[in-house]
Structure 1
């Protein structure tokens, strides 16, 4: 079975985002970029399934600028077998992403697609669900456990009330949650090997997908600065202030 793993190049989670002075977006100049953490979990899960003998090949795919090759090389260094970059300098929205991944899935015929539940830059949480709709495949979102059993996969999902396990007929779409696994660090030998692994470059046009944005960003702004708190001398003063604010027990 082949596993397809979409990955996204995003602002590193340790970097504090800065809004551009003109309010048109987040400043990405001269800042560290890395693989979306949820996608990294997806790569790790795919590699573990291959190590168990469930999968035979792991293919990483990304949609983005030429520099996204670095993100794909990270996936290859972790253990993915080959990679595909759909190169575009434009911001690509979830629906267009899902259409590109659908076209790649049609060509690659994977048994499983594992992707992060959301990207930490836009937090849309849409691509996996849209891909499932376009392919007509079953979906298991917010996965905390994935177990392939013959021609089915059992996915334990994190839901508001606790955990829910669904049995999906393959091929299927799975989106990862934080507790699914802890991604490995790429070793130096594997980083060197990743440089010679196959990485194909395509364009959205190769898949017949129009990436023209459907949503226009009007303004991006910093959240308001939180006002300082007030110290009180004792409980009586605290209760008096709360009553003055209209807070009642």
Structure 2
């Protein structure tokens, strides 16, 4: 893929794939093009060249909601929490595309609507428990710490049963203990066959959860290898340390 903004090339000829059950992490200095690549995959910015496919089907040109409905969910760098809603309600919004309900069904309390709502609530509470924040379910999301809000946002992305989850710097604001729990949750999801695409700077998390690490610099891929090899890669050392 290639993405340009007003003549500036933000991502240049980037090509990669992520498989079921794999965690692929994009790393690189600020401005390297990591989030832009995410936005192109998710349909938030157009590509000048290239295409994106999901399960061998082209998704280039689809709107973000259409892409999400196919089974691709993501988080954003800037916290997207709905502060006035409870933690449980925030996670339930992640099931909006998967929960069949209608206005009249909600008003008249049709049995099918009641069953759908109970099932959705059960899924949301189970995901909160999996993320270790079930005790926060009824608290207003705006009252939580930043790290807790990040966990709620991740739970919302995960709850819909997505086949590909894209997390943009999920460890920002998390304590070491929360990062450890997040890493365990990501590996559990990968073990269930979920493909995970991660943008992250926190190296202990990257090394713990990644199957492959792809390093970008000035919008171009300079390395891709297992995490154990990345610290000794000549090109990566030049980018991060200024020398090999």
TM-score computed with the length of structure 1 as normaliser: 0.26
Greater RCO, 1 or 2 (C-alpha within 8 Å, sep 6+): 2
Higher helix share: 2
Higher strand share: 1
TM-score computed with the length of structure 2 as normaliser: 0.27
Q: Which has the larger radius of gyration?
A: 1
